[in-house]
Amino acid sequence: MSDPDRSERPREWWRSRMGDPQQHTDWGKEWHARRWHKRRRWFFGRALFFVGFLALLVGGGMAILAMLLTRVFGGDGQIVWMVWLGGCGLSLALPLLALTFGLRSLRRIALPFTDIIAALDAAADGDLSVRVPERGRGEMGWLANSFNRMLGELERTDQQRRNLTADVAHELRTPLHIIQGNLEGILDGVYTADSEHIEATLEETRLLSRLVDDLRVLSLAEAGELPLHREDVDIADLLADVATSFSGQADAQGITLHSSAPQTPLSVHADADRLDQVLSNLVANALRHTPSGGEVVLSAVQNEDTVEIRVRDSGEGIPVEDLPFLFDRFWRG
């Protein structure tokens, strides 16, 4: 059945990103209210038609029954009168009962869908905090629960995305400010254009380049298009290389950093650059959360047909409440 006011449905305002979202939200509520008023007239008109048709059907059946009884009992007026009264009563009672129970059943079925539609409209307008009342334990309750969990995941992912955007902006802003300050200092004569200041500025550009490369790798990984160059990687050499690359930072912080070579030679068939990147991130995080005088150890053990690489530190550790989100994207405790 066609929607009587489908042509009035608003266009997807979020595509143009114009106007106040709250105004669009209020407009959407008003539009749904107008649509319900139109549909209410349509619904009650058909409900009355159904009641009238059912009453006519029952009344006609009683009339036929009265005619048959008149022939059987030979025109006994009292019996015919009782049949007519019963028919009239049934003609009124049955449709009313059917309408009452039908409306109650319809309300029980339609109300959860109404809640979900309202929540969908709110989510489309950008409000991911909305939740659907979970009514009952049947299929509709399960549907509402699944819908709420979906909205919760979307809300959490959206918040993590916002945090990531803020972090990226902060990480990019710092080297840009340093580069800008150094160049302005050289132009103003505050700094001399010697190799020391030029090298410091060049190092900040290298940092920017690494940040941009990391963002590119992240986008390729999320799209499932990150190329992997698999080869046999010696685990002992990998651990030693990573420990060596962070030895200067560890010494500056007063932290002991070393790798523990496995007792037996271990190798894996993997992308060496990605393994190095993962281990470097773990070691950098361990150094960030380990106090001076602490220790960070890199080790590896073989478990049947897999190799387990460990990065252990003597820092404060990860809070228990953050452990379930350890491998969630962009999560920050």
The token duo for 209 is 């380049």
When pLDDT is cut at 50, 70 and 90, the band that residue 292 belongs to is very high
Locate tokens 């992240």: which residue?
218
Per-residue model confidence (pLDDT) at position 12: 42
Per-residue model confidence (pLDDT) at position 3: 44
Residue 153 has pLDDT above 90, yes or no: no
Look at 223 and 297; give whichever has higher pLDDT. Answer: 297
Measure CA of the first residue to CA of the last residue in the chain; give whole Å: 51
Contact between 296 and 257 (Cβ < 8 Å): yes
The token duo for 63 is 């009339």
* Ranges 70-74, 153-157, 304-308: which has the least confidence: 70-74
Q: What is the pLDDT of residues 99-124, one digit of tens each?
A: 676 666 666 666 667 777 777 777 77
Query: String of b and e for 34-56 (b: at least 16 CB within 10 Å)?
Result: ebeeeeeeeeeeeeeeebeebbe
Nearest to 58 by CA among 19, 117, 98: 98
DSSP per-residue string spanning 150-216:
HHHHHHHHHHHHHHHHHHHHHHHHHHHHHHHHHHHHHHHTSS--SHHHHHHHHHHHHHHHHHHHHHH
DSSP letter (8 states) at residue 81: H
| Other CB atoms within 10 Å distance of the CB of residue 226 | 14
Q: What is the mean pLDDT of residues 240-251?
A: 90
Residue 172 has pLDDT above 70, yes or no: yes
| β 230-234/267-271 pair status | antiparallel
In DSSP terms, 299 is beta-bridged to 310
SS3 at position 159: helix
Nearest to 238 by CA among 213, 217, 259: 259
Per-residue model confidence (pLDDT) at position 253: 92
Which of 173-177, 208-212, 236-240, 303-307 tops mean pLDDT? 236-240
**Sequence ranges of the chain with CATH classification 3.30.565.10:** 231-325
When pLDDT is cut at 50, 70 and 90, the band that residue 128 belongs to is confident
Fold designation for 231-325 = Heat Shock Protein 90 (3.30.565)
Look at 268 and 23; give whichever has higher pLDDT. Answer: 268
Look at 240 and 29; give whichever has higher pLDDT. Answer: 240
Q: What is the pLDDT of residues 182-209, one digit of tens each?
A: 888 888 888 888 888 788 888 888 888 8
Distance CA 126, CA 129 (A): 9
Distance CA 17, CA 114 (A): 27
156-222 domain in CATH 1.10.287.130? yes
How far from the centroid of its chain's Cα atoms is residue 210's Cα? 29
Locate tokens 């281990």: which residue?
279
Average pLDDT value over all residues in the chain = 75
Look at 77 and 128; give whichever has higher pLDDT. Answer: 128
How many residues comprise the chain? Answer: 333
How far from the centroid of its chain's Cα atoms is residue 63's Cα? 62
Residue type, 239: L
**Sequence ranges of the chain with CATH classification 1.10.287.130:** 156-222
The token duo for 216 is 């590119």
Nearest to 149 by CA among 127, 125, 131, 123: 131
